[in-house]
Structure formats: C-alpha cells, structure tokens
Amino acid sequence: MAHSKNIGVYFSANDAVYEWTIAFLNSFRTFNPDLRLILIPFNEQCDRLLKLTDTYKFEVYTDSSFSRLEAIGQAFELGYTPTGPYWFRRYASFWGPLDYFMYLDARQIVLADIKPFIEAIETFGFDFLHYDCAIDQVYEQGTFRQELLKQRRGRGFNSGRWASRKGLFSIEEFEQLAESALKIRNQLNPRNTDQAFINYCCDMKPVCYGHFAEVIGGICQNGWARQSGNIFENSGKYFLWNYGSLDHKKQVILLHWAGYQLNSLMPYRNFFDKFYLKRQPIFKSCIFYLYKTLDYLWRNPLETLRQNRFINSIYHILRKK
C-alpha cells in the first residue's frame, strides 16, 4: 500500500521542560534521523528551545487557533492545573501541515522508528491510534461512563502519545463538543483536562480508534516508566523483560515519565541520562553525575520517610487541617 509522504511528528514543549526536551530530541533523532518533526510551542517561553531548531532539525508551528483552544482549556479548568489551558494547543495538529502524524509530549523518550506507527492509520483504516489506557484518569465513576462502556466506547487513553490524520476535527467542532462536555464536567476527571476532552471528543463523534499494541501487535501495552519489569536492548531495539506478564519480551517503543519530577529517584533514570548526555561534552557529563549523586543523597532518605505508612498518614491529616 502506498502511503502519504506528508507525515511526521508534532511535539509540545517550552523552556520549563528544557532538560526533558533535550533527552526527547536526542532519542527521537537516534531512531528517526529524517522524519519530519514539528514543535507546537507550549506557551511563549520557548527562547532556549528555539535555538535548537537547526541542531535537531525541527520546525515550529504556530496557529491563530491557539487562543481559541486555550479558551476551551480554561473553561474546563477547576483550579488544579494553572498551565492546563496550554495543553490544548496540541490539538491544532488536526489542521496543521501534516496529513498523517503522531503527537508526543516532551517528557518521554523514543526508542524505535516511529514511521510505521503513523502509517498504521492509513494501513489499517483507523482515524486515531493511542497508547496507554487508564479510564479513571479520564472519566469519573457514574452513569455517563457506564453508558459509554455499554456502547463499547470509553477506553480512557493517554493524551501524551497518539497518531491521527489531518481533518479529523476542526476548531469549530472542538468548540461545539466542548460546550456539550461542560454540561457533564463533574463526570470528567477534574485534573486531566486535555485528556478528558480529547477522549470525550473521540467518543462522542465517534471516531474509529484503537490501541497501538492491539492493532499492530508485538509491542508493550504501556509505556509508563513505573511499569514493572526491566527494559533491555537487543540488536538496537528495546524490549521489556517481565517474566509471566503479557508484555514479556515485547518491544518498548516509548518510555514516558508523566507525573514525575526530574530527579535522581525517578524510575529508569538511566535511560533519561543516556539520551540527555548524548551530545554533551565530558566535563558537563561529570558535573551532571555529581549533581545527580548529591540529589540522591538528600532525596532518598526523604522518600523513604514519605513512603512510610504511619508518617504519610500523619502528613495528610495535618495537611487537611
């Protein structure tokens, strides 16, 4: 089957996640040296990132619809995520320059050639393909969620990694869907505003969507860094060793740290280090590891205390007061 040549990847970032973005870009270009890559600026604070366009061969996409998308995000915001409205900018990808595309957050690394996963939209006739699922992160328990599940909808997919096609949604359609979604705002996750929104849109339209691992096969169901098991390399590809699990010896395509702060205790920190340091001179690498060691020495005892059941319970009791 002949595929469209106008394919690529959108990613969203700003200077606040500069270190994360360096690791992302190095990993992306390791496995996708020539694939078109386009930055959707998370907000206006992108001065440092914009200096990297030539180094990592990415373009910058801005659109007049950003303000309208942010307005949708603001309408969904309940005060938990001050930057939440900016998350909605990513949905300008549906009318951006690429015909078929994948969207990726910057707080992850890419461990494979992404092109086949974008082409899968055309190959298998889907509108939208997603990765990790966690319905509680999208829909609250209640009648709306129950009705979706009865209709075999409501997967609750992650909004930080997915593939789709141009024209699936328009800004006008998003605004109409947002108006109806706000009527059941109490049945959507209070924090993950953009994730709840895109799930709602896909479920209400509805679109033909599926899970990458289920459609393509041979890859891990999840890419979250906290998953059990160990990742190993074999012949330039990465696989999960988790004996007895459904994902045992399946390929790892993406590894993301959603919900984690960048520190010495985050899981799979060695993978972040590998790609973050890929273009760094030796003296900067030495400083980096010194800082990491010092960070571990003070953070590890605090984390041990935090995970103690008694201490953690007392902390939350005092916090409520």
Asked if the structure places residue 256 within a domain, the reply is no
- Residue 76's identity, in one-letter code, is F
More confident residue, 289 or 182: 182
Query: Among residues 216, 249, 271, which one ends one of the domains?
Result: 216
Angle in degrees, CA 199, 205, 207, rounded to 5: 75
Whether the predicted pLDDT of 281 surpasses 90: no
Asked if the structure places residue 49 within a domain, the reply is yes
Q: SS in 3 state form for 134-168?
A: CHHHCECCCHHHHHHHHCCCCCCECCCEEEEECCC
Whether the predicted pLDDT of 111 surpasses 90: yes
Same domain? For 108 and 202 the reply is yes
- The Cα–Cα gap between 51 and 126 comes to 36
Q: Nearest-CA neighbor of 41 among 61, 17, 64?
A: 61
Provide the pLDDT for residue 292: 79
Asked if the structure places residue 247 within a domain, the reply is no
Asked if the structure places residue 129 within a domain, the reply is yes
For 10-24, 141-155, 255-269, 300-314, which range has the lowest pLDDT when averaged over its residues?
300-314
Same domain? For 11 and 142 the reply is yes
Same domain? For 309 and 162 the reply is no
Whether the predicted pLDDT of 176 surpasses 80: yes
Average pLDDT over residues 187-212: 96
Same domain? For 33 and 139 the reply is yes
Same domain? For 81 and 162 the reply is yes
More confident residue, 54 or 80: 54
Whether the predicted pLDDT of 74 surpasses 90: yes
- The Cα–Cα gap between 201 and 176 comes to 10
Provide the pLDDT for residue 303: 72
Whether the predicted pLDDT of 149 surpasses 70: yes
Mean pLDDT computed over every residue of the chain:
93
Asked if the structure places residue 144 within a domain, the reply is yes
Whether the predicted pLDDT of 130 surpasses 70: yes
Instruction: Give φ, ψ of 127 to 5 degrees.
Output: -85, -30
Asked if the structure places residue 252 within a domain, the reply is no
Same domain? For 72 and 148 the reply is yes
Average pLDDT over residues 104-116: 97
- 309 Cβ contact list (under 8 Å, min separation 6): none
Asked if the structure places residue 221 within a domain, the reply is no
Whether the predicted pLDDT of 3 surpasses 90: no
Average pLDDT over residues 138-160: 95
pTM of the complete model: 0.93
* Domain of residue 50, residue span: 7-216
What CATH number is given to the structural domain containing 30? 3.90.550.10
Tell me the HSE value of 260 on the side-chain side, using a 13 A CA sphere.
20
Same domain? For 78 and 169 the reply is yes
User: What is residue 321's three-state secondary structure?
Assistant: coil
More confident residue, 84 or 281: 84
Number of domains observed in the structure of the chain: 2
More confident residue, 75 or 259: 75
Distances (CA, A) of 321 to 79, 314, 316, 318: 20, 11, 9, 5
Q: Nearest-CA neighbor of 105 among 268, 254, 265?
A: 254
Average pLDDT over residues 201-210: 96
- 111 Cβ contact list (under 8 Å, min separation 6): 27, 31, 237, 238, 252, 253, 254, 255
Average pLDDT over residues 258-276: 92
- 209 Cβ contact list (under 8 Å, min separation 6): 126, 127, 128, 129, 130, 155, 157, 202
Same domain? For 157 and 303 the reply is no
Whether the predicted pLDDT of 237 surpasses 90: yes
Asked if the structure places residue 62 within a domain, the reply is yes
Residue 229 gets the label, from left (phi > 0), alpha (psi -120 to 50) or beta, of left
Query: Among residues 216, 247, 267, which one ends one of the domains?
Result: 216
More confident residue, 188 or 4: 188
What are 246's strand-pairing partners?
A: none
Whether the predicted pLDDT of 2 surpasses 70: no
Q: Are 196 and 138 in contact (CB under 8 A)?
A: yes
Confidence of residue 1 (pLDDT cuts 50, 70, 90): low
Length of the chain equals 321
